[in-house]
């Protein structure tokens, strides 16, 4: 396979296209940059360092894992933007990761240096006194060693299975006869603390794995330790969920078996904390089954999650100045919280903007519907849920009160499968009707339909959003949620659920955009309409806010619109395969990425100038997986005031020069200066939410 790839002719680069994986790495670099940004409070910069690492872990598990699977195919697989083969992409990713590792190490060292004057130090044994060394040795002997399980690899003890993302101490041991063996000690343990206090120095800590590595010789007294390091592997998570659609299989049970398989899939990366000999690395690669070029030497701790313990310590020592100003979601001024919500929503559409406004009104609406005698049914799609979900509790109450509750729980929500399986059981036990998605299509829409029997017949309350029904992330991610009593929207939402219950997707809609059959084509049509207006001598405008842009059909149409003279403004947080500002192709396209305190997650589509503008909020990014391989829903904003509000939000984000970076024609994200005082859109939205409730 690899030889076949090497013989294929490499295509010339396309000046207005960027590879999806390399674009994602540029996004994660912007996250890393926030860890080194002096304008971000010091303690919060630790969070960005940890997020950078967890993002990269998932990227290797999912994207690199997928590419490596493709490399085993008998056919050469090329992506459709830059024509790179899977092997070429993996090589480029590995190189980019090594470059980012150097940047990460520099930023980590900078962070640790800035923490010292604040009373925080993370040290190793070279900086300890003899007395402190003895104290830690006693601590190791009494609090850590009894809970360690050391393995020496031999014919009787094969190389142990290494868990994904756990930390291990590995050593090359030499016996008195000169024979060498490999030793492995698991360091990830819930019994002992990871961040160990140095008792003689307040605010000074050592990581438990460093303590284990230092005293490793005590575990092998009959051997000489020739080499040692900490080790961490990242395993492939690319499981094929489509294989489980078999009428003879229990779907939920089959998903559980697939999740178990994921835990044992092959590694795609190995990280070491110390330099080891080529011979030992070769031996480890053979035992662990990882390629040598997928081995990385890390100059920072292999797992950055310890920073949250440091943050807790700083808060307990009253160093609030090192954190963001406290912000909590506000209640929307559009609803009277203590009055019944359904009558209020029947009078006007309500738009909630998270995390600036609270998700509580929607949860209250569900509880109200659970008790309302006129409510006949609640239908809902669930993708990712919070622990101890109030959403689920409200649905359970509704079912127990005799309402028909139909819930589509998407069991294939990556890394949330186990949680969703448990919630599906809880809902079924309460009497809800639970379905698990469609053959070939993930259901990613955020759709809730409350049906009521009134004197005038059936009446609908519909909620459509951009983010998950998750109370925790609603306080951390920016999302939008429309609640409306528009009966035409309700009827189309009912058609979506009717199709889902039959294992189908809707073929045609009027108001809603519903993937996989009625979203991409409608977006392309609306882009074409803007091209037509420009050709008639009028102005054309497209404004898009999404998380990722990879859909080749939409990209090509946007390029055509740019060439025709349509003004295009895009806010793309993460992957952006289109390079703007390239003369002759994308010179009328502007792309901004915002990486700030809250994860940008809302999707807004705008088509047309102010006098004829169409505005939608949606669950779908412009990625092929969203537009033609998932069930997604976009809803038009029909209320004039809400449309104006979204326009203002969009324009504010386009002018964000504090957290917003502009993608240049060279494919680089650059700072910009647009305002006398730097504008932070998220802070403006929070200030507005606070002022709206007079607090």
Supply the residues annotated as catalytic. 444
Which candidate, 508, 538, 505, 517, places its Cα nearest to that of 608?
A: 538
Report which DSSP code applies to 142. I
Orientation angle between helical segments 520-535 and 552-564, nearest 10 degrees: 10
Instruction: Determine whether 500 is exposed, middle or buried from the number of CB atoms within 10 Å of its CB (0-12, 13-18, 19+).
Output: buried
Residue 491 burial (CB < 10 Å; 0-12/13-18/19+)? middle
How crowded is residue 400: how many other Cβ atoms within 10 Å of its Cβ?
13
Single out the residue of 262, 264, 257, 255 nearest to residue 421, CA to CA: 255
End-to-end C-alpha distance for the chain, whole angstroms:
63
Which tokens go with 685? 């939205």
What length is written for the chain?
695
Query: Directed axis angle between helix 20-35 and helix 86-115, to 10°?
Result: 0
CA of residue 79 relative to chain centroid, distance: 22
Which residues, in sequence order, are CB contacts of 630 under 8 Å at separation 6+? 441, 442, 443, 444, 445, 515, 516, 620
Question: Is the four-CA dihedral 646, 358, 44, 54 of positive or negative sign?
Answer: negative
Cβ-contact 501, 443 below 8 angstroms: no
The number of C-alpha atoms within 13 Å of 275 and in the hemisphere containing its C-beta is: 1
Contacts of 89 (CB under 8 A, 6+ apart): 19, 21, 22, 67, 79
For 329-378, the three-class secondary structure string (H helix, E strand, C coil) is: CECCCCCCCCCCHHHHHHHCCEEEEECCECCHHHHHHHHHHHHCCCEEEE
How far is Cα 421 from Cα 412, in angstroms, rounded to an integer?
10
Rama region for 522: left / alpha / beta (φ>0; ψ in -120 to 50; rest): alpha
C-beta of residue 269 within 8 angstroms of C-beta of residue 233: yes
The Cα diameter of the chain in Å comes to 93
Distance of CA 253 to the CA centre of its chain: 26
Q: How far apart are CA 523 and CA 605, in angstroms?
A: 9
The position carrying tokens 């039959």 is: 502
Nearest-10 Cα torsion for 526, 532, 537, 538: -10
Question: How far is it, in rounded angstroms, from Cα 494 to Cα 402?
Answer: 20
- Reading the block at residue 460, the tokens are 């609908």
Alpha carbons 320 and 357: distance in angstroms, whole number: 24
Contacts of 376 (CB under 8 A, 6+ apart): 403, 404, 451, 452, 453, 458
The 3-state secondary structure of 423-447, one letter per residue: HHHHHHHCCCEEECCECCEEECCCE
Counting Cα atoms < 13 Å in the Cβ hemisphere of 256 gives 10
Token reading at 531: 């091209």
- Separation CA 28–CA 386 (nearest Å): 25
């Amino acid at each position: 396979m690899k030889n076949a790839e090497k013989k294929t002719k490499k295509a010339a680069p396309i000046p207005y296209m960027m590879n999806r994986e390399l674009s994602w790495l540029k996004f994660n670099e912007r996250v890393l940059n926030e860890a080194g940004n002096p304008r971000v409070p010091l303690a919060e910069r630790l969070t960005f360092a940890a997020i950078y690492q967890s993002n990269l872990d998932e990227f290797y598990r999912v994207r690199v894992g997928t590419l490596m699977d493709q490399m085993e195919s008998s056919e050469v697989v090329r992506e459709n933007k830059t024509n790179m083969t899977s092997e070429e992409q993996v090589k480029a990713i590995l190189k980019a990761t090594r470059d980012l590792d150097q940047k990460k190490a520099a930023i980590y060292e900078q962070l640790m240096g800035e923490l010292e004057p604040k009373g925080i130090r993370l040290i190793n044994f070279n900086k300890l006194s003899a007395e402190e060394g003895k104290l830690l040795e006693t601590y190791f002997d009494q609090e850590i060693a009894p809970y360690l399980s050391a393995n020496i690899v031999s014919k009787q003890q094969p190389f142990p299975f290494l868990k994904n993302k756990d930390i291990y101490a590995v050593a090359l041991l030499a016996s008195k006869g000169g024979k060498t063996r490999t030793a492995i000690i698991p360091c990830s343990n819930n019994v002992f603390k990871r961040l160990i206090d140095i008792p003689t120095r307040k605010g000074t800590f050592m990581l438990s794995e460093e303590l284990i590595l230092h005293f490793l010789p005590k575990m092998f007294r009959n051997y000489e330790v020739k080499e040692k390091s900490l080790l961490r592997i990242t395993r492939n998570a690319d499981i094929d969920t489509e294989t489980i659609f078999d009428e003879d299989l229990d779907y939920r049970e089959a998903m559980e078996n697939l999740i178990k398989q994921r835990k044992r899939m092959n590694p795609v990366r190995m990280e070491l904390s110390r330099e080891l000999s080529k011979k030992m690395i070769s031996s480890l690669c053979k035992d662990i089954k990882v390629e040598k070029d997928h081995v990385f030497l890390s100059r920072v701790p292999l797992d950055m999650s310890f920073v949250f313990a440091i943050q807790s310590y700083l808060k307990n020592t009253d160093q609030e100045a090192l954190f963001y100003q406290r912000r909590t979601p506000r209640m929307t001024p559009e609803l009277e919280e203590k009055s019944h919500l359904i009558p209020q929503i029947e009078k006007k559409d309500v738009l909630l903007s998270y995390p600036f406004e609270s998700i509580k009104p929607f949860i209250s609406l569900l509880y109200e519907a659970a008790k309302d005698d006129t409510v006949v049914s609640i239908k809902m799609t669930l993708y990712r849920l919070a622990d101890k979900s109030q959403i689920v509790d409200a649905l359970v109450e509704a079912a127990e009160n005799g309402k028909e509750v139909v819930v589509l729980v998407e069991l294939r929500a990556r890394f949330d499968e186990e949680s969703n399986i448990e919630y599906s059981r809880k809902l079924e036990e309460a009497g809800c009707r639970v379905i698990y998605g469609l053959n070939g299509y993930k259901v990613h829409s955020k759709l809730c339909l409350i049906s009521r029997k009134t004197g005038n017949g059936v009446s609908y309350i519909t909620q459509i959003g951009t983010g998950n029904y998750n109370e925790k992330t609603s306080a951390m991610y920016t999302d939008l949620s429309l609640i409306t009593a528009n009966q035409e929207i309700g009827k189309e939402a009912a058609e979506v659920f009717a199709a889902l219950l039959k294992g189908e997707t809707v073929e045609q809609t009027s108001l809603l955009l519903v993937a996989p059959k009625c979203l991409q084509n409608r977006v392309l049509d609306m882009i074409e309409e803007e091209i037509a207006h420009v050709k008639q001598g009028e102005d054309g405008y497209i404004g898009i806010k999404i998380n990722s842009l990879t859909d080749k059909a939409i990209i090509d149409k946007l390029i055509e619109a740019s060439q025709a003279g349509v003004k295009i403004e895009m806010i793309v947080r993460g992957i952006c395969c289109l390079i703007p500002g390239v003369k002759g192709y994308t010179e009328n396209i502007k792309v901004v990425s915002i990486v700030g305190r809250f994860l940008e997650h809302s999707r807004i589509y705008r088509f047309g100038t102010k006098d004829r503008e169409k505005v939608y909020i949606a669950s779908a990014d412009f990625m092929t997986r969203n537009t033609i391989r998932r069930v997604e829903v976009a809803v038009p904003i029909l209320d004039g005031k809400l449309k104006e509000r979204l326009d203002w939000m969009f324009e504010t984000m386009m002018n964000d020069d504090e957290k917003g970076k502009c993608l240049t024609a060279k494919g680089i994200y650059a700072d910009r200066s647009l305002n006398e005082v730097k504008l932070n859109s998220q802070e403006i939205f929070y200030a507005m939410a606070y002022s709206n409730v007079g607090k």
